[in-house]
């Protein structure tokens, strides 16, 4: 059985093109994706569903940014792995994401192999 089967990955990303790219990469591995476009929707989805295995969190989201959404999610669900996927690529951005509770960080533009490796390491 492949490690990706029966896995659900929540993608919090407000840009459709970025979501579509992530979805296509993940689809190749056989995991299911769910898409939300705001940080608040990510928090609400976690409260409504108990079957999410991992979250890919953009940091620049409307309504509630990804850092605040991560903090709220980690308060209630400390074991859920959250990978920051962001165009913010400075060293301080990485440390901000990790201190907000993200477990890992990947900068855009994405490299497919690196993304898959990071997701798999948290499954």
Say what the pTM is. Answer: 0.94
Tokens of 61: 């989201």
DSSP code for 110 = P
CA geometry: angle 11, 107, 111, nearest 5 deg: 85
> 44: which 2 tokens?
């609400």
pLDDT above 60 (res 11): yes
CATH architecture assignment, domain 8-116:
3-Layer(aba) Sandwich (3.40)
Q: What is the pLDDT of residue 1?
A: 56
8 Å CB contact between 82 and 103: yes
> Cα 36 to the chain's mean position, in Å?
10
* Domain spans of the chain, in order of start: 8-116
Q: Could you tell me how many residues make up the chain?
A: 123
pLDDT, tens digit (0-9, with 9 covering 90-100), for 37-91: 999 999 999 999 989 999 999 999 999 999 999 999 999 999 999 999 988 667 7
């Amino acid at each position: 059985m492949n490690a990706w089967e029966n896995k659900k990955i929540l993608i919090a990303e407000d840009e459709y093109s970025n979501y579509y790219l992530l979805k296509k990469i993940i689809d190749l591995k056989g995991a299911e994706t769910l898409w939300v476009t705001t940080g608040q929707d990510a928090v609400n989805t976690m409260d409504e569903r108990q079957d999410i295995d991992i979250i890919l969190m953009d940091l620049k989201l409307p309504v509630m940014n990804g850092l605040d959404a991560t903090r709220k999610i980690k308060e209630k669900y400390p074991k859920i792995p959250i990978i920051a996927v962001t165009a913010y690529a400075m060293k301080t951005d990485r440390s901000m994401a990790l201190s907000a509770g993200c477990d890992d960080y990947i900068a855009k533009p994405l490299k497919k192999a690196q993304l898959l490796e990071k997701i798999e390491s948290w499954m």
